[in-house]
Amino acid sequence: MMLEGNQMTADVAGRAPSAGAPPAPQSWASHAGATVVLALPLIGAQLAQMTMNVTDTVMVGWLGAEQLAAAVLATQAFFLFYIFGAGFAQASLPLAAGAKGRGDARGVRRSIRMSLWVLMLYGLLTLVPLSHLEAILLALGQEKETARLAGSYMSVAQWSIFPALLVMGLRSYLTVVGRAYLMLAIIIAGALANAGLNYVFIFGHLGAPALGIVGSALATLLANLLMAGLILAYTALSPGLAHYELHARFWRPDWPAFGEVLRLGWPIGATIIAEVGLFATSSVMMGWLGTIPLAAHGIALQIGSISFMIPLGIASAATVRVGYAHGQNDRIAIGRAGTIAVLIGGTIALLAATIFWLVPERLISLYLDDANPNAVEVLATAIPLVLVAAMFQIADSLQAVASGILRGLKDTRMPMLIALISYWAVGMPVAYLLAFFAGWGGPGIWWGLASGLAVAAVLLNWRYIRRERHGLVAAR
């Protein structure tokens, strides 16, 4: 069944055209079906990946508000560096998808292989700041004990950067070649392993030492190593992928492809980090308000992040779908693939916002132990944050999907500038003013985040609508 599902994904996601043959026209319904089939395993993989962070947050939260606050800071710091590097993996999506659309197996291999080179080199660079997290947090005004706990967590978690980036790079490969369901299975295995290892190492079960917050970091490292080993074995040994020869002569450089990954990847990374950095900085500002607001913020942010994994998966599907069409120079397919992705992403975001608005207490309570003396205060502080998060779900979804579409057209620099302006010239100043000058506190910070996302959603979708005018596709 797995092989049949993978083949189905390959069939509907896009086949390489026969030599000299025009691409087969697809109806709106056909594009919608293809997008959904490709997006489902990507969404599942995103959610399974997110469950690792949720598991960490929930189990560390049982230790108390101080440990939870430290975990929020440490995991967001790690994610900040990880997600910038993931931009180089994202760069390989339009490159490999375009090559596959042209029937160019060598082009697929070149872009994926060099993206892995870039990712591993980047991983080495991240070790310097990650290993000094405690000092960085103290310089940013965080409480001494919170910074110490976060630094202890990172002393172990920093080594996860290599397997995590490797998984991200090979996930792009499996997505393009129609094996996304296999990637989903591997990430589910990693998430299950992470949950079990957290239980063992945080609380000292099954004869293991009770390592507390450091045990959570160890669980994350081991789970990422497991996923990296599984995906490496599959991509190296699968007969269906043999003709791509991804691992053959892996040591041999391909500098033009290396340069193309860098050229497209750093703006993607900067675009992603502009948004992630907005949320990370918001965590620092929440820390200025105290431990309870920071813990509440971490819970609300986790809930919003889970919901965001769905449009993020749709965005990746849009990159591949539009990339296939772009590789075939099919203007009609580009328009339909992109528009369908926007409609699907917006609809799902509306449903998520409704859930946030109707049952915020139930969502927040999942992260709290009623026996903890801080639980009631954290719950009361988090509810208004989740209500604001409900309001910007749609904007966040629309900007993410639009970014994915533009990446499929190899348009990365202007979206980067739009992100920087939206998040840092609009979102962050509004958040600071509302929180500390207008006296809105935590909700003010979250309304600032919403304003930046809304501006980005409008500008990015406008650029896609006017893609011919901007030279992203050939004019009629």
Q: Which of 325, 257, 264 is nearest to 98 (CA)?
A: 325
Question: For the ranges 14-23, 93-102, 452-461, which has the lowest average pLDDT?
Answer: 14-23
**Percent helix, percent strand, percent coil in the chain, to nearest 5:** 80, 0, 20
Cα 450 to Cα 113, 310, 373, 471: the distances in Å are 37, 18, 31, 30
- pLDDT tens digits along 258-298: 888 888 888 988 888 787 778 878 888 888 888 888 888 88
Looking at the domain assignment, is residue 453 inside a domain?
A: yes
- pLDDT tens digits along 215-261: 888 998 999 999 999 999 999 888 888 888 888 778 888 888 888 88
Looking at the domain assignment, is residue 168 inside a domain?
A: yes
d(CA 340, CA 336): 6
Contacts of 460 by beta carbon, 8 Å cutoff, 6+ apart: 398, 399, 402, 403, 406, 415, 418
pLDDT of residue 192: 92
Residues in the chain: 476
Looking at the domain assignment, is residue 19 inside a domain?
A: no
**In the block, residue with structure tokens 């990422």:** 224
Q: How confident is the model at residue 24 (pLDDT cuts 50, 70, 90)?
A: low
Q: How confident is the model at residue 474 (pLDDT cuts 50, 70, 90)?
A: low
pLDDT of residue 107: 82
d(CA 78, CA 423): 20
Q: How confident is the model at residue 401 (pLDDT cuts 50, 70, 90)?
A: very high
Report the Cα–Cα distance between both ends of the chain, in Å, rounded: 43
The C-alpha torsion from 221 through 224 and 229 to 231, rounded to 10°, is -170
What does the block give as tokens for 323? 């990339």
**In the block, residue with structure tokens 């967590």:** 153
Q: How confident is the model at residue 467 (pLDDT cuts 50, 70, 90)?
A: confident
Looking at the domain assignment, is residue 473 inside a domain?
A: no
Number of structural domains the chain divides into: 1
pLDDT of residue 476: 60
d(CA 106, CA 99): 8
Supply the range of the domain harboring residue 420. 2-13+27-465
pTM of the model: 0.77
Q: What does the buried/exposed string (b/e) look like for 291-318 if buried means 16 or more CB atoms within 10 Å of the residue's CB? A: bbbbbbbbbbbbbbbbbbbbbbbbbbbb
- pLDDT tens digits along 345-399: 989 889 988 998 888 888 888 877 676 777 788 888 888 888 888 887 888 899 9
pLDDT of residue 165: 93
Q: Is residue 12 scored above 60 in pLDDT?
A: no
Q: Is residue 8 scored above 50 in pLDDT?
A: no
Mean pLDDT of all residues in the chain? 84
| Percent share of the chain, pLDDT over 90 | 23
pLDDT of residue 10: 41
Looking at the domain assignment, is residue 472 inside a domain?
A: no
Q: Average pLDDT of 322-336?
A: 85
d(CA 401, CA 337): 11
- pLDDT tens digits along 413-461: 999 999 999 999 999 999 999 999 898 988 899 999 899 999 999 999 9
Q: Average pLDDT of 102-125?
A: 88
Looking at the domain assignment, is residue 381 inside a domain?
A: yes
Looking at the domain assignment, is residue 18 inside a domain?
A: no
Burial class (CB in 10 A: 0-12, 13-18, 19+), 204: middle
